[in-house]
């Protein structure tokens, strides 16, 4: 959504990936039994689903999450409703919960490439690496669609409607 520069965005992505690798490494080192019992948290396409279904689930799940974040933290909305910044975590957390309910059976819920990457690096399983592209392409496409929808369709329509309302001489 062009909120940060491209260089800063890339640095954030690299830092998140390194943080995810370190985080999963610590979990594996200090909680070996639960880590192994739960498969290390690595994402992959579950049996009974194909790559297209998994990709669609990741795109839709990420779209829902990113759209909710944009809507809940929209500065135009905050100006109207001063209590919104305090309540913003509630719809975001609910969106994460709902996306997990819907996509855990399909992919284990990626919706964050760094988290999926960190678990894949530490797990180092061929099945996990075969499906890794889904957990990068899906979230990037879903986030791009959510940003475009919010910025160019919803916000543009709201600005146009506000402009026509203000220009109406009878109001």
Q: What is the residue-averaged pLDDT of the chain?
A: 86
d(CA 88, CA 73): 6
What is the extent of the structural domain holding 86?
42-114+124-169
Q: Is residue 35 part of a domain?
A: no
Specify the CATH number for the domain of residue 165: 1.20.1080.10
Whether 83 maps to a domain, the answer reads: yes
Would you say residue 55 lies in a domain? Answer: yes
* Total-model pTM: 0.83
Nearest in space to 140 (alpha carbons), one of 169, 111, 104: 111
Residue at 29 is within a domain:
no
Is residue 1 in some structural domain?
A: no
Identify the CA nearest to 35 among candidates 119, 97, 112, 107: 119
Domain annotation covers residue 67: yes
Distance CA 42, CA 69 (A): 25
d(CA 97, CA 65): 10
- The reply to whether 16 falls in a domain is no
What tokens does 35 get? Answer: 């880590």
The predicted structure's pLDDT at residue 151: 84
User: Is the residue at 14 inside a domain?
Assistant: no
pLDDT at 28 over 60: yes
Q: Report how many domains make up the chain.
A: 1
pLDDT tens for 96-154 read 999 999 999 999 999 999 999 999 999 888 878 999 999 999 999 999 999 999 888 87
- What residue has token string 């490439």? 113
């Amino acid at each position: 959504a062009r909120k940060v520069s491209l260089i800063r965005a890339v640095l954030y992505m690299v830092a998140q990936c390194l943080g995810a690798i370190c985080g999963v490494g610590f979990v594996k080192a200090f909680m070996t039994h639960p880590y192994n019992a739960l498969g290390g948290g690595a994402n992959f396409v579950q049996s009974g689903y194909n790559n297209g279904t998994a990709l669609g689930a990741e795109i839709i799940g990420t779209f829902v999450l990113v759209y909710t974040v944009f809507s809940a933290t929209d500065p135009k909305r905050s100006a109207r409703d001063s209590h919104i910044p305090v309540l913003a975590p509630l719809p975001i957390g609910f969106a994460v919960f709902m996306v997990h309910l819907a996509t855990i059976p399909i992919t284990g819920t990626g919706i964050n490439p760094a988290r999926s990457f960190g678990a894949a690096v530490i797990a180092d399983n061929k099945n996990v690496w075969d499906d890794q592209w889904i957990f990068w392409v899906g979230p990037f496409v879903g986030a791009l669609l959510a940003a475009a929808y919010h910025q160019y369709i919803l916000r543009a329509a709201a600005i146009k409607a506000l402009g026509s309302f203000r220009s109406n001489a009878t109001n």
